[in-house]
Amino acid sequence: LARIAEADQQVHSFLEVTEQMALAAAAQVDKAIAVGTFGEMGILAGVPVAFKDNMNLEGTRTTCSSRMLENYVSPYTATCVEKCLQAGALPMGKLNMDEFAFGSSTETSAFGPTRNPWDLQRVPGGSSGGSAAAVAAGLVCATLGSDTGGSIRQPGAFCGVVGLKPTYGTVSRYGVVAFGSSLDQVGPFTRSVEDAALMMNVLAGRDPLDCTSQPCSADFTANLAEGVRGMRIGVVPEFMEAKGLTDEVRQKVADAIKQVEALGAQLVEIDLPHARAAMSAYYVLGPSEAFSNLARFDSVRYGYCDPGHTDLGSQYDASRAVGFGAEAKRRIMLGSYLLSAGVYDKYYYPAQQVRTLITQDYQQAYEKVDCILTPVAPRTAFKFGEIGDPTEMYLSDMFTISINIAGNGGMSMPVGLGEASGMPVGVQLISPAFHDANMLRVAAALE
Ligand code: GLN
């Protein structure tokens, strides 16, 4: 708590520190130690953990970094948060993010940006920027983030920590404010691969409250020590030659590829011919789902209510005008256009077809490889305000988005500092659906 109070004045990763809850949970751990039952507690007993502010924790605010939900106090706890509490974690608080998870820099938060602990002039990435920065600054041992198009992996890379987006359906989304329901997935940020695997053991599994969640009995730590000898690792030449990929990132990723080969893995060149359409498909599907999901923030069912209106229409208009920031409005307007009559057939339907093609690309690749290794983001953390154009910001996710579209697992693994910027670089490891242990195994070998 003292470390958060001191260091977070500069980093601003926390929106709320839940001091009383953390102390109460710590008292339970102390008590268990005193009476000799500590061994019966869960794997996270006494471990400080914090949560992205789109996850409900009963009795605390869930703001999604939006004025719209500034005063929303959650009446219940999300399954992913509950599982951490059940495992004995100390809930330290709620973490900053891009508003409603729209963004790649945490600059769209209504409550001010989070700063990158490696260089306070630079962004931590986003949308789970607070979750990545809190771990990088050593404020907590693990955090939860959510990833719709790259929001765990890209900030993981920018802050030099492990960030894992599990296969869609591995972790329950119940109690997590929805952005794109068919793309969203919750996952951990940690400082080590083993910690990420332990967090996955806590988080994974079927939840009757989320019909897309799947049963899971895997032990994610089981083959961390096996090494990569004999594994077939896919590399994607098109990604390595992509326009916009900086030399320092290309260099580090090439080094990691050489390293896994030196450790005995077999490199296999693969082709993901439709991956280049992933960005276009995502910016149809994502905003369409967001438009639908954000309809509930209408000042009546949920959210800020602008006072003094005498008819419902003007109350809706004024409340949403004040409550939502610019990027949220952009997504809502885009989604509402894309789903309107006459337009729907031209964009939404083809985007779903592209989705099938991308999924098939990955399925074919996984006949030849056990894991794929690519860059996470085209560049290292940029300076505040450096990227002003929204479409340029969207390119931050050029290597991560196709994985959400296909639904398989992806993670970001730090591999050192870029030569030019001196900032952390991550490589992305991608696994076949429900074989997330494969990528953890490769990550452990690179550690
Ligand atoms: N940066 C992407 C977007 O703005 C992805 C965000 C996310 O994964 N939540 O949509």
pLDDT value of position 51: 99
State the CB neighbour count (10 A cutoff) for residue 186.
28
Ligand 1 atom with least separation from CA of 152? 8
pLDDT value of position 400: 98
Domain boundaries, the chain: 1-447
- Residue among 444, 386, 328, 414 nearest 154 (CA): 414
Sort residue 95 into left (φ over 0), alpha (ψ -120 to 50) or beta.
beta
pLDDT value of position 170: 98
CB 126 within 8 A of CB 119: no
pLDDT value of position 291: 98
> Please, what CATH class does the domain formed by 1-447 belong to?
alpha beta
pLDDT value of position 325: 98
Instruction: Please tell me the distance from the alpha carbon of residue 168 to that of residue 343, in angstroms, as a whole number.
Output: 28
State pLDDT tens for residues 109-126: 999 999 999 999 999 999
399 lines ligand 1 (CB under 6 A): no
Q: Which residues are catalytic?
A: 52, 127, 151
Ligand 1 atom with least separation from CA of 151? 8
pLDDT value of position 262: 98
What are residue 277's phi and psi, to 5 degrees? -90, 0
Ligand 1 atom with least separation from CA of 282? 10
State pLDDT tens for residues 382-428: 999 999 998 889 999 999 999 999 999 999 999 999 999 999 999 99
State pLDDT tens for residues 226-265: 999 999 999 999 999 999 999 999 999 999 999 999 999 9
Mean pLDDT of all residues in 258-279: 97
201: pLDDT confidence band, cut at 50, 70 and 90? very high
45: pLDDT confidence band, cut at 50, 70 and 90? very high
pTM for this one? Answer: 0.98
13: pLDDT confidence band, cut at 50, 70 and 90? very high
154: pLDDT confidence band, cut at 50, 70 and 90? very high
Mutate to test the pocket of ligand 1, among 54, 387, 397 (most ligand atoms within 8 A of CB): 397
Q: Residue with structure tokens 């996470």? A: 376
145 lines ligand 1 (CB under 6 A): no
Question: What type of residue is 6?
Answer: E
Joined together, the tokens standing for residue 168 give 């869609």
Distance 150 CA to ligand 1 centre (A): 6
Distance 151 CA to ligand 1 centre (A): 5
Ligand 1 atom with least separation from CA of 103? 4
Distance 96 CA to ligand 1 centre (A): 14
pLDDT value of position 406: 98
397 lines ligand 1 (CB under 6 A): yes
User: Which of residues 53 and 217 earns the better pLDDT score?
Assistant: 53
Distance 266 CA to ligand 1 centre (A): 33
pLDDT value of position 427: 98
